[in-house]
Amino acid sequence: GSVLPSAIHFHMSTEEVEWFNRYKKSLATYMRSVGGEEGLDLTQDIKPPKSLYIEVRCLKDYGEFEIDDVPTVLRKKNSQHFLPRWKCEQLIRQGVLEHVLS
């Protein structure tokens, strides 16, 4: 990840801190370069996801949603969709979608 617990950071040498800061910048640059417009947050999940697609419910009307391999989806309040996880994560954080757990 890009954040270290203070107990670990406290015991690091100057060279280790410099290396870690370069690593954070490199990781951030890479994550912005993949995953479309929003980027891909590799630090979000502690465990790898079991599925690349998730079921989501729209919490409010939000217009059309285009994905390369999926037909255009109209996001209307209370509609449910099975969509790629990486395209939904930002909208879940924004409160537009919610992950439907089965």
Q: Residue 79 gets which letter from DSSP?
A: -
Q: Is the pLDDT of residue 11 over 90?
A: yes
Average pLDDT over residues 8-17: 93
Number of domains in the chain: 2
- Confidence label for 86 from pLDDT (cuts 50, 70 and 90): confident
Domain that holds residue 67: 53-99
Highest-confidence range of 33-37, 55-59, 69-73, 84-88, by mean pLDDT? Answer: 55-59
- Within a domain: residue 76? yes
- Within a domain: residue 48? no
- Within a domain: residue 92? yes
DSSP conformation letters of 5-70? -HHHHHT--HHHHHHHHHHHHHHHHHHHHSSSTT---TTS-SS--S-SEEEEEESS--EEEEETTE
Asked whether residue 72 falls in the same domain as residue 94, the answer is yes
- Within a domain: residue 22? yes
Asked whether residue 33 falls in the same domain as residue 59, the answer is no
Asked whether residue 95 falls in the same domain as residue 65, the answer is yes
Average pLDDT over residues 41-47: 73
- Within a domain: residue 14? yes
Asked whether residue 62 falls in the same domain as residue 31, the answer is no
Average pLDDT over residues 37-52: 73
